[in-house]
Every structure is written in structure tokens, then in C-alpha cells.
Chain A
Amino acid sequence: ETGVTQTPRHLVMGMTNKKSLKCEQHLGHNAMYWYKQSAKKPLELMFVYNFKEQTENNSVPSRFSPECPNSSHLFLHLHTLQPEDSALYLCASSLDRVRAGANVLTFGAGSRLTVL
């Protein structure tokens, strides 16, 4: 247990479904991240939140919608996904995003998403 908890661990959904991934940390961190990891591809940073404000959106399609209600919780809302969106979605947190040396990441175990 790293201190970052992701649920669900596995999710199978159809292309018309709406589902959400949840991430929770109680490490006192102020930055939270969503990464996508597909087979044979590097880790792709999707979104960054620093002190609840979205600071980075790396051209992620609008069918992925993040939400950060507070510094401890991060959601990724999914709708009308495509089969190529099947991947391991990793949440991470760090002390903050800005200060050098403060962005050592603590990752959750990931949510394995399969889109049929």
C-alpha cells in the first residue's frame, strides 16, 4: 500500500457507458496526476492538478473529464470511450508540482480499463 488508492482496480465498459475512476491520497500532497499506460508505449501524462487547480491538460480528448474536488481526491470521468482507450490508468501524487525536488511521485496501483 503506497498511500495512493485507486478504485476500481479493473473496469470493463462498453463504448456508450459512463463510468468514473477514483483516486484518493492522505499523504498531505497537493499535486495529483493522471497517467495513461498502454502496451509498448511510454507513460503519457494526461492531467495535473496543483492545489486543486488544473495546471496541465496534455491534449486529452474530451471523453476524459477530470475532477479534483479537494487535494486528496481525484476523479477521471469516462464517457463514449473507444477501444484504443483500453489501458492502465495510473494516479499519482506529489508534495506539489512547482517546487524543484517536490515532485517525487507516489503512484497508486492503477485501474485496468478495457473498452469493448
Chain B
Amino acid sequence: SQQGEEDPQALSIQEGENATMNCSYKTSINNLQWYRQNSGRGLVHLILIRSNEREKHSGRLRVTLDTSKKSSSLLITASRAADTASYFCATVQAAGNKLTFGGGTRVLVKP
């Protein structure tokens, strides 16, 4: 099974609404990263949160990390049609520094 698993697998919202997606993982991590992928393109790094951090912001993005629950969430506020993409969490394991991607959440923002 995967180290990082996103929930939900797909999300459809109206422009202007907030989008929240979650990532759960199994083993201790050094850091957790979120990436975005537009259809048929490469992934783009969005934000990194270290294991000793609880919350991080970048523009309209807010990431939280709860190491006791082994989970993270990504919130996109005031969504735009251009935010339509797949979002992936990636965990960097504490042992071995291995980076593993989850299955992703497909987000559709309707204008």
C-alpha cells in the first residue's frame, strides 16, 4: 500500500469556493510536500512542510500537518478555474529519505 493516500479522489466545486483535500501516511516523515499537475503535464511543487511544523501558507494555499494522526490537508481558498488540476501529496520518509507520491486528488473548479 502507498505511503501517502489522498482523500477525496475527486472534487468538484464552484469558482470562489474553498477546496480541501487530505493526505494520510503510515510511517514517520522528514517532510511532506504537495504538488500540482495540469492534465498531461509534469508536476509542479507547491509547498513543503517539515515534520516539526504544523501549518504553512503560500498565497491562497494553506497546508496543515498533524504528525500524531499522520495526516496533512491542503486548502485552496477562493478557488479559480485555473486551479483545476490533480493535486498530489508526497511524503519523505524519516528512514532513508525516500519520497513517495500518493494517488492524487482531481479537482475541478467550475466557472
Which A residues form the contact surface with B (CB < 8 A)?
Answer: 2, 4, 6, 41-43, 45, 88, 90, 92, 97-101, 103-110, 112
Produce 1/0 per residue, B31-69, CB < 8 A to A.
Answer: 101010000111111001010000000000000000000
User: In chain B, what residue has the closest Cβ to A101?
Assistant: B31
Q: Which residues of B from 72 to 102 have beta carbons under 8 Å from A?
A: 88, 90, 92, 97, 99-102
A105-B43, A107-B43, A109-B42 given as contacts; is B88 within 8 A of A43 (CB)? Answer: yes
A to B CB contacts below 8 Å, 15 in the list? A4-B42, A42-B101, A42-B102, A43-B88, A88-B40, A92-B43, A98-B97, A100-B30, A100-B97, A103-B97, A103-B99, A104-B48, A105-B45, A105-B99, A109-B41
For A97, the chain B residues whose CB sits under 8 A away are: 97
Main secondary structure of the interface of B (DSSP, over half): strand
Excluding A101-B48, A103-B99, 13 further A-B contacts by CB distance (< 8 Å) are A88-B40, A90-B42, A90-B43, A92-B42, A100-B30, A100-B97, A101-B30, A104-B48, A105-B90, A105-B99, A109-B41, A110-B41, A112-B40
Say which size band chain B's interface belongs to.
20 to 34
A103 to chain B, nearest CB (A): 5
A100-B30, A101-B31 given as contacts; is B97 within 8 A of A107 (CB)? Answer: no
For A42, the chain B residues whose CB sits under 8 A away are: 2, 101-104
B45 touches A103 (CB 8 A): no
